[in-house]
């Protein structure tokens, strides 16, 4: 039992903070049942993150070493850090064009995917129509179809349209798996918006396009962001189709990396530098959407 608090405070009065504090030291702690074990639980994610970062760190150090240093004595960090490898990439057009190509087709793909997915997701979330459920499943199967199955006919299809080695070809081909995903994510977010909002807007005299752009899209802005992020992500990391559909003019950076095998053996330093450079755009994009990541992975539905 603690000592009884000071008497004589007014009925609605308010005891001075220090009058009661001595009898209840450190009482203002929320109890979460944090046992000793629970306090150590941060170790699991920490170890996991170290595991994730080690290989990336290794690539990073390699990119700052010369080939002699890489193949010579084994060191945990570069003894003579050099930016020479990066200089090679930024001065050679066939290297940095790979970057520009990747960014162009990824951006194109993101824009196309999200803009066609928006009306479709709206239709799926608001209406029932002939064959809707089967259509939805069919879209999803494309997300699941192995790209290796399609590689060759893809090449021929796009050649017969004269699209080989263009950015738009890769952008459209990536729609195969990005559009279904975007529809899926957006449908989840849209279903969270009450239908009454649509009806109120129509009563207020909004036309459908104006309602969609002015009222509805701001409401699901985070959903659009999440969908765009996923489209960016899957278009950026995909290589098989991108490589099949390009030769030189639209060749992605990831495909350019195979060039480092030369007569004199592997150019490890440049390869590592190119690898690090392909990680950076992804890292930047994650940083921008960090507050939506958890929500996005729930696909707006949980």
Cα angle 292, 172, 94 (rounded to 5 degrees) comes to: 90
Would you give the DSSP letter of residue 247? Answer: S
Which residues in 135-174 contact another protein (CB under 8 A)? 135, 137, 139-154, 156-157, 160-162, 172-173
**Among 95, 99, 122, 211, interactor with another protein by CB under 8 A:** 122
Count of residues of this chain found to bind another protein when the rule CB under 8 A is applied: 126
**Among 84, 88, 104, 116, interactor with another protein by CB under 8 A:** 116
Which residues in 13-72 contact another protein (CB under 8 A)? 13-15, 17, 20-21, 24, 27-31, 33, 41-45, 48-49, 51-56, 58-59, 62, 70-71
**Among 201, 228, 272, 273, interactor with another protein by CB under 8 A:** 272
Give the residue with the Cβ less far from another protein, 83 or 197. Answer: 197
Give the residue with the Cβ less far from another protein, 246 or 278. Answer: 278
Secondary structure class of 265 (helix, strand, coil): strand
End-to-end CA distance of the chain: 46
Q: CB atoms < 10 A from the CB of 75, how many? A: 12
298 binds another protein (CB under 8 A): yes
Burial environment of residue 163 by CB neighbours within 10 A (0 to 12, 13 to 18, 19 or more) = middle
**Among 213, 237, 249, 261, interactor with another protein by CB under 8 A:** 237
Q: CB atoms < 10 A from the CB of 257, how many? A: 18
Under 8 Å CB-to-CB from 125, ≥6 apart: which residues?
A: 186, 187, 190, 191
275 binds another protein (CB under 8 A): yes
């Amino acid at each position: 039992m603690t000592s009884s608090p000071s008497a004589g405070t007014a009925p609605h009065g308010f005891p001075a903070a220090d009058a009661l504090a001595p009898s209840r030291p450190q009482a203002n702690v929320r109890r979460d049942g944090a046992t000793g074990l629970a306090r150590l639980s941060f170790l699991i994610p920490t170890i996991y993150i170290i595991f994730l970062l080690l290989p990336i760190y290794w690539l990073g150090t390699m990119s700052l070493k010369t080939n002699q240093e890489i193949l010579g004595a084994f060191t945990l960090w570069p003894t003579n850090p050099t930016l020479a490898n990066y200089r090679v990439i930024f001065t050679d057009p066939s290297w940095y064009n790979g970057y520009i190509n990747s960014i162009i087709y990824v951006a194109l793909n993101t824009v196309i995917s999200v803009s066609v997915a928006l009306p479709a997701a709206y239709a799926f979330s608001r209406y029932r129509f002939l064959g809707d459920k089967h259509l939805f499943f069919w879209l999803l199967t494309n997300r699941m179809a192995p790209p290796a199955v399609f590689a060759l006919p893809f090449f021929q299809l796009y050649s017969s349209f004269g699209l080989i080695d263009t950015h738009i070809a890769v952008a459209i081909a990536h729609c195969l798996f990005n559009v279904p995903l975007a529809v899926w994510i957006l449908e989840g977010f849209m279903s969270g918006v009450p239908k009454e909002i649509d009806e109120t807007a129509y009563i207020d005299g909004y036309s459908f396009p104006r309602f969609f752009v002015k009222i509805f899209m701001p409401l699901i802005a985070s959903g659009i962001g999440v969908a765009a992020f996923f489209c960016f992500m899957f278009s950026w990391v995909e290589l098989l189709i991108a490589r099949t559909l390009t030769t030189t003019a639209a060749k992605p950076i990831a495909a350019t990396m195979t060039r480092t095998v030369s007569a004199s053996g592997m150019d490890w330093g440049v390869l590592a530098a190119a690898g690090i450079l392909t990680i950076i755009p992804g890292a930047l994009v994650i940083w921008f959407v960090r507050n939506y990541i958890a929500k996005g992975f729930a696909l707006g539905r949980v």
